[in-house]
Structures are given as C-alpha cells and as structure tokens.
Amino acid sequence: MDGYRLEQDSLGEMRVPEDALYGAQTARAVNNFPISGLRLPRPLLRALGLLKKHAAQSNQQLGLLSAEAADAISRAAIEVIAGQLDEQFPVDIFQTGSGTSSNMNCNEVIANRAARLLGQPAGSRAIHPNDQVNLGQSSNDVFPSAIHIACAEQLHKQLLPALEQLLQQLAQKSEDFADILKIGRTHLQDATPIKLGQVFSGYARQIELAHERLSVDSSGLYELPLGGTAVGTGINTHPQFAGTTIAAIARETCLPFREASNHFEAQGAKDALVATSSSLKNCSVSLFKIANDIRFLASGPRCGIGELVLPAVQPGSSIMPGKINPVMAEALLQVCAQVIGNDATVSLCGLSGNFELNVMMPVMAHNTLQSIELLSNGIRAFEERCLSSMQADQQRCSALLEKSLALVTALVPEIGYDRAAELAKQAHKTGRTLRELAMEDGIDAEVLDRLLDPAGMTEPKA
C-alpha cells in the first residue's frame, strides 16, 4: 500500500494514489476507460467548478448546508475554476455517456480539497462528495449544464470575437480593392467583369451572416438542465435550488443563463448542442469557401491566376527553392474539415437521447468545444498572418480582364445574343479582339467605347 490509500464507495474499497485528491469512483473510472488519453477540456472543468461553487452557496442560503462546509466547498471549487487542480481530473472522454464519472471526479476532488482546507486528510469524508458537494444535483443535470456553460463562454470569449475581427478585415479589403477591376468567374470559366472589392464584400457578408446565425443558433445553450436531477422531475432537490444557482452563474459569467423551461426535453435531448454544432459546421463551410477562393486567386506566381499576392510566411518546399505556398489558407481548410467531421459525430450522438437521458454527452462536449477552439485559433491565424498583409496585383487583374471574351455579354442588348456569340467564337478562333470584329460588323466606335467599358459592367444600368 506504499503510495496509496484506501477509499470506499458503494462497490467497496478501492486503492487511490496517496497524493490524489480524487477518490474511489474516479480511480475505478481510470481503470475502466483507458481509451484515448483525452481528458475533459479546460473550459468544461471551469464550468463544473462554477456549478459546484454556486451550488454550495445556494444550498447554504437555503439552509441545507452549513456555512463551514459551504465555504470550504466554494474555496475548493474556485481552485477548480482557476485551473489549479487540473491534474486531478484523469478520466477519459470516452466514459459513461452521462458524464457521471467526471461529475464524481469533480465531487471527489472538491470534497477532498475542502477537507484539507478544514484541516482533515483526503479520504476522511469530512466533506462528503455526494451528500454535500453533489447536494441537490445529479450527474444527469449537472454535466449537460456544464457543457452548455462551457460552450457558451467559449463562443463569447473566443469565436464570436474572432469572427468580428475577420469581418472587419474583410470589409477593409473590400474598401482597399474597391476600384480594382478583374474578370469574374463562374463554372471556373471566364465571366463578366467584377471589382475585386465586390468579391471581398461578398466574403465579408458571408462572415457577418455566419456570426448572426451562430449567435441565434447557440442561444439554446442559455437554458440549463440544472434542477431536473435524475430524470427531469427534480427529485431530491430544493425547488429554489436551480433558480438560485443559475442566477449566480449568470451574474459571474455575464451570460443570460436560465433554468430550462422543460427539464424532460433538457435532459432527454441535446438539441441545443446539436444546433450549435451545426452552426459551427455552417461557419466552416463559409470559411472554407473564402480561404479556398483566396488561395486559388493567389495561385502562381507566374503560371496561375495571380490576382492576389499572399505574404510569404515560410518556405514552401524542401526541394524547390523559392517556392511559397498558401499555408495559412491550407491550415484553415483543415480546421474546417475537422469541424465538419466533429459535427457529424455530434449529430450521431444527438440521436442517442434514449428515453429520459442522452448517453453520449462527453464526446459531444469534446467535439463541440474542440470545434470552437479550432475555429477561433484558425481564424485568428489566417487573419493575422495572411489576410491582413495580403495585396492585390492590379496589373495582373487588368491583363487577364483584357484577354477575356466574356466582355461580349455587354453587346447583347445592342446586337442580340446570337450575333454576340458569333463574335466571341470568331475572336477566340482568330485571336483578334472583340472591338476589331465588332467594328467590322458595323457597330459604331462610340457605342463600343460605352458598351465595352469594364467598369460599366460591374453595376446594373437603369
């Protein structure tokens, strides 16, 4: 038993490392789930700490917990919130689907740390993990509440600000490129002229809409299942416990958390998390389109499109000297691919709300929080190391525009579709310009000046 102590749970005795703050149930979970090496994300541990802190204070206010016990539990929970006890949370993400192992891990760590704060040894049960730390709670309402808190906080602290910064940068590029004319492209083929600023205004609007959708689609996270306990009926909890606790959490986080209007929905389903993950996927689709367009528009430098010039942030090849690759765009594309895959898992897990409880919550939490983190970091890196110093090659834009046969579209109102199509085919076959052939076809030079002006093709005419 050197280096270990014996702790007791409902299944009997269990050896626990002497210096561990966790107890028997956590030790069993460590033995049961040696699967991935992935642990609960830091934001989720913070959220569990917030719940336990305010639960203890609420139970004291309601006369259910002594001031001494509530104070010790709160102090220990604050250490969990601050990340001072993260090494005491060894349970794998792939565990019991309700998150019971992690809830009990938190209960045991806080109980034993609180006991030490009271001058008692770990394992003494001076503070009881179930009867006091988990008072008025169940894993079935605590763990999904913690997921909602963690995801909502990370969205507001990380991802939404990153999207706002990206939007500002794209809007600035739209202004910077407002007067640069270029050829448009549809079906990967030449189309009518467009301004580069217009292209970037479209990207900016995509991000603006992604931000709006994410804000709306994630609003369900503000409803917390706390108060439903085992199956949503609220057994073994004070009727004022959830409201009091959630109000305190809302004040500390400055987010509008509230008690779920229907606890049976809140615990039997995870639709709010599915909706959030789906919106993260949709955001990734928008980002993928933007990053992909930018890397193709920057292809070259001599034999590609080359209308954009990206900053050189690192050598691009181990064999080709001088090669520079669009690595920041490629990194963001990979982030988007991972988030889209994460959403598929969250969707499948959302199907697993069997009767009164979803039983795939830990991996839903892991994937959703990972998606938020990856998008936040990927967007910032792309904005700071690519987009902010990206330039337009105006000369290249003009050169490609002048070669295009798509300008013939502007002649259609004057000579009709069929004649315009014939001119385009002749120009392509002979290598002559549209202007030359159109003048031979009898169109007045002044009319051609007006119709073939690329800038005039970028706005609708009355």
Are residues 123 and 41 part of one domain?
yes
The CATH number of the domain holding residue 429 is: 1.10.40.30
Q: Provide the pLDDT for residue 182.
A: 98
Are residues 53 and 35 part of one domain?
yes
Q: Provide the pLDDT for residue 8.
A: 87
Angle in degrees, CA 165, 167, 171, rounded to 5 = 120
Mark which of 357, 372, 395 sits at the end of a domain.
395
Are residues 327 and 209 part of one domain?
yes
Tokens (6 digits) for 184: 């448009």
Are residues 413 and 349 part of one domain?
no
Q: Provide the pLDDT for residue 283.
A: 98
Query: Within a domain: residue 231?
Result: no
Are residues 304 and 161 part of one domain?
yes
How buried is 280 (Cβ within 10 angstroms: 0-12 exposed, 13-18 middle, 19+ buried)?
Answer: buried
**What angle separates helix 67-82 from helix 42-61, to the nearest 10 degrees?**
170
* Domain range enclosing 129: 19-135
Q: Report how far apart the first and last C-alpha atoms of the chain are (Å, whole number).
A: 89
Tokens (6 digits) for 219: 């609003």
Q: Provide the pLDDT for residue 462.
A: 64
Tell me which of 10, 187, 261, 318 is the catalytic residue: 187
Query: Within a domain: residue 352?
Result: yes
Domain count, the chain: 3
Are residues 168 and 90 part of one domain?
no
Are residues 199 and 152 part of one domain?
yes
Query: Within a domain: residue 256?
Result: no
The CATH number of the domain holding residue 206 is: 1.20.200.10
Are residues 91 and 162 part of one domain?
no
Tell me which of 317, 388, 389, 428 is the catalytic residue: 317
Is residue 159 classed as helix, strand or coil in its secondary structure?
A: helix
Are residues 90 and 193 part of one domain?
no
Angle in degrees, CA 275, 281, 287, rounded to 5 = 140
Task: Please count the CA atoms within 13 angstroms of the CA of 248 that sit on its side-chain side.
Answer: 20
Tokens (6 digits) for 22: 């966790």
Mark which of 99, 115, 135 sits at the end of a domain.
135
Q: In which residue ranges of the chain is pLDDT below 50? A: none
Are residues 187 and 67 part of one domain?
no
In contact, 21 and 90? CB cutoff 8 Å: no
Tokens (6 digits) for 435: 């202007």
Are residues 99 and 153 part of one domain?
no
Mean pLDDT score across all residues of the chain: 96
Are residues 98 and 38 part of one domain?
yes
Mark which of 90, 112, 135 sits at the end of a domain.
135
**What angle separates helix 42-61 from helix 241-253, to the nearest 10 degrees?**
130
pTM (two decimals): 0.96
Query: Within a domain: residue 85?
Result: yes
Query: Within a domain: residue 41?
Result: yes
The CATH number of the domain holding residue 113 is: 1.10.275.10
Name the phi and psi angles at 460, rounded to 5.
-65, 145
Query: Within a domain: residue 250?
Result: no
Q: What is the DSSP string of 102-146?
A: HHHHHHHHHHHHHHHHTT--TTS-SS-IIIIITTT--HHHHHHHH
Closest CA relative to residue 105, chosen from 12, 18, 27: 27
**Residues 458, 460: Cα–Cα separation, whole Å:** 7
Query: Within a domain: residue 252?
Result: no
- Is 187 part of the annotated catalytic residue set? yes
